[in-house]
A and B are shown apart, each in its own frame.
Chain A
Amino acid sequence: MCGIVGYIGKRDAAPILMEGLHRLEYRGYDSAGIAVVDRAGGLRLAKCKGRVRELEKLLPQRLRGSAGIAHTRWATHGEPSDRNAHPHCDAGSRIAVIHNGIIENASALRARLEAAGVCFRSDTDTEILAHLIAAMPEAALDAAVRAALRMVTGTYGLAVLDAARPDAIVVARNGSPVVLGIGEREMFLASDPAALVRHTRNVVYLDDGEMALVRADGFETSTLDGGATVKTPSTISWTNEAFDKGDFPHFMKKEIAEQPEAVRRTLSGRLELRFQTTHLGGIELAAHELLEIRRIKILGCGSAYIAGCVGAHLIEQLARVPAHAEPASEFRYRNPVVERDTLYIAVSQSGETFDTLAAVQEIKRKGGRVLGIVNVVGSTIGRECGRGIYLHAGPEVAVVSTKTFTCTSVAFALFAIQLGRIRDLSTAHGGRLLDALAALPEQIERIIAREAEIVRLAEKFIGGEHVFFVGRSAGHAVAMEGALKLKEVSYLHAEACSAAELKHGPLALITPETPTIVVLPRDDLFHKNVSTIEEIRARQGPVFVVTHPGEPPAGVEGAFDVPTSEPELDPLLLNIPLQLLAYHVALQRSCDIDKPRNLAKSVTVE
């Protein structure tokens, strides 16, 4: 998704901005651009469709100037092209604007400006902002930006540079993140801390409806109405090295391999062995409040939603509270009924997912209680919820989620055990679950160590076009996540369905050319799942299983077994080989694994 980076200080801005753009590449983008005010006070602009390395080729050898902004664009308004790439300028090439988000009244504003004689050079909504700001009579840049934004409806995280006043950059935020990085007589700004962490770990997050005048020696924040606000800097815990691939060929591979350590961090300090329970201090709900919960609704998008399906199953099984997961985007658009005795849980790796954030705001507006499960400390959803569970999984750079899916599932297990032990879960069962959780990192290591088996399995999928994933009960969520991973990175058409639903439609698509991967834990439903396999085999469909140790059912063409855990935690381990399978199918099909086509990390627009 779009990325913003900016610098003002004593050094040349261009190298810092380009390095920042490289850091933001992981989010997905289709074009990039940079604007720097040079030593002569002119605005130097370069932008192009394609990768950041293409942009680098356009830059002059020496681009001197200590204030600048840069952007990676993921197209919403207007096709990916050189002219639609940001920054956008006013007619006099004085004001440069970079923008994440969508201006909803763009058509009306554009018509008004065109009627006033403005000629547009792009199809974007962002260019409107540049012309509006340039047209404002206010002398100060922050006042001009404020006046322009009063005319705008929509979402934005934006940065504005004025060649006539290069001693400051103005940033504003409404629905799209902006973070300021505080240096030694220099300031950085970005939409994502990943772009800053090499230079400073001392940051300030803007809130919605807030803007900042950023100078080399500091910053002033205010509301869009002009009232001053006070911000307290916080420290990013992630290091610069955490954003590097190291010796791994892809971030996806690195993040799969990091799962044992990531799970250890998610568990760290949260297992209360003395009382056979877990303790999540951040949820900030007293026992009597937890006991009054009648229902739990989990909201997320993509893998976060699917992790929510795993979580709903865990909560129902362990705490015996009705729980259900729903895509946040669907929830927010259907005028949901928000009940006081329902606990809402919002899941987002980045903590910036637009639809999930909008759902959180809708729930709060209607008086509901919402917990966040997020990975990025200080993120908008984390702050908006005010309570919840941080995953501590470390930065996830690959567009496809792997370690944060696993860690989110672990976080749900921790929550379900805590809730269950307050209710009816026995000490003995709690103790067994704690032992099983503690064993997970080592069990994941054992699965990853058998990667060679997955490589051989992947060879059987690379020539096909369609793959089915089938699971039952909690195994259905594993099938959903397996299918999502495969389609995201390998571009194979992958579809998940419940084993019980197979004969109600999808069975019609089973052919000898359509392999099915069945999630087959050796649990109470094992024999029902074997019957499903027989139904597929009767239609000559090839079957592969992800299962537990033991003789695989007759007729399956491939099997991978994972270590056994407590039955409720089986999905966490059954998912790992499917991540590796997606990776190796994509690798053998020569796909761009870390930057899948059309996809973006952290979807911060509607």
Chain B
Amino acid sequence: MSEPDEFDDLVTYLARTSRLNRPEAARLVDEVLSFLDERPQEFVCRRHRLLQGEGLPNGEIFARLAAELRRWRFRAPAYTERQIRRMIYG
């Protein structure tokens, strides 16, 4: 899923600082990015189904999801050019 150029720095860094060679580092990056390729809504629904299947009540599930959402890494939502400009220049 990743485009190699976008994560070239990371692949170079991993190849330099671990026992991985460059193709292995590229694959590792790709695997991790695939694993994290979820939007918050998709994540919440998936985890809710899973925890519900374990028999947890909604009150407990929601508290756990709130904590997990603070820690998890997500792809950013789509931004318009106007929004990007405002991020930079306020």
Contact = CB atoms under 8 A, between A and B. Distances in A.
A274 B18 contact: no
Nearest to B15: A287
Contacts of B17: 275, 277, 287, 421-422
A275 B13 contact: yes
A286 B20 CA distance: 11
B85 interface: no
A422 B18 contact: yes
B49 interface: no
Interface in B17-67: 17-19
B9 A287 contact: no
B16 interface: yes
A291 B20 CA distance: 12
Interface in A275-302: 275, 277, 279, 286-288, 291
A291 B13 CA distance: 15
Nearest to B18: A287
Interface in A419-438: 421-422
Contacts, number: 17
Interface string A123-148: 00000000000000000000000000
A279 B9 CA distance: 13
Contacts of A421: 17
B19 A287 contact: yes
A288 B9 contact: no
B18 to A, nearest CB: 5
Contacts of B13: 272, 274-275
B22 to A, nearest CB: 12
A291 B19 contact: yes
Contacts of A275: 13, 17
Nearest to A423: B17
**In this complex, which of A272, A274, A287 has the most chain B Cβ atoms within 10 angstroms of its Cβ?**
A287
Contacts of A287: 16-19
A163 B78 CA distance: 84
A422 to B, nearest CB: 5
Contacts of A274: 9, 13
A277 B18 CA distance: 13
Nearest to B9: A274
Contacts of A286: 16
Contacts of A272: 13
A272 B18 CA distance: 16
Contacts of B16: 279, 286-287
A593 B53 CA distance: 79
Contacts of B18: 287, 422
Q: Which 4 A-B pairs have the closest CB atoms?
A: A288-B19, A422-B17, A287-B17, A275-B13
Interface of A: 272, 274-275, 277, 279, 286-288, 291, 421-422
12 contacts: A274-B9, A274-B13, A275-B13, A277-B17, A279-B16, A286-B16, A287-B16, A287-B17, A287-B18, A287-B19, A288-B19, A422-B18
